[in-house]
A = this chain, B = another copy of it.
Amino acid sequence: MALDEARKAQLRGEVPVGAVLLDSNGQVVAADGNRTEELSDASAHAEMLVLRAAGRLRGSARLPDCEIVVTLEPCPMCAAAISAFRVGRVVFGAYDPKGGGIEHGPQLYRAPGSHFRPEVVGGVREGEAAGLLKAFFAELRR
């Protein structure tokens, strides 16, 4: 589903990243893709959109029973937001050595001051997720 959201983002002219937020029963709470161009909002990454949608739906800014699945390693902004929403688990596809904030860069959940550290599983269907991004950027450069 997150890969589908990434493909839909690409059709909208956005960087192809998609995210899904699931509850503890595996039910989908929110699903979306990147909308930074559409919304003129540099913070409108897929993760931020599903977190905010879930908060609105639930009437709560805390989502401890939830898991977020995203096609790309979250950037520092999204990694920090996932922690602020107290999401219990993060599953991501492609690693992002340049822009990632969990396994790369500031490695936010490993920082001593980290208030809340979600469980992290990286590299799930990595090839497909990375492939979408590679094809998108190769096309941009043509």
Q: Which chain A residues have a beta carbon within 8 Å of chain B's beta carbons?
A: 36-37, 39-44, 48, 51-52, 55-56, 58-62, 75-81, 84-86, 98-99, 101, 104-106, 108, 111, 113, 115
Contacts and interface: CB of A to CB of B under 8 A. Distances in A.
B81 A99 contact: no
A84 B75 CA distance: 10
What is the total number of copies of this protein in its complex? 2
Contacts of A43: 43, 48, 51-52, 81, 84-85
A61 B41 contact: yes
Nearest to A106: B106
A86 to B, nearest CB: 8
7 contacts: A42-B61, A42-B81, A43-B51, A43-B81, A43-B84, A77-B84, A98-B113
A23 to B, nearest CB: 16
A108 B52 CA distance: 23
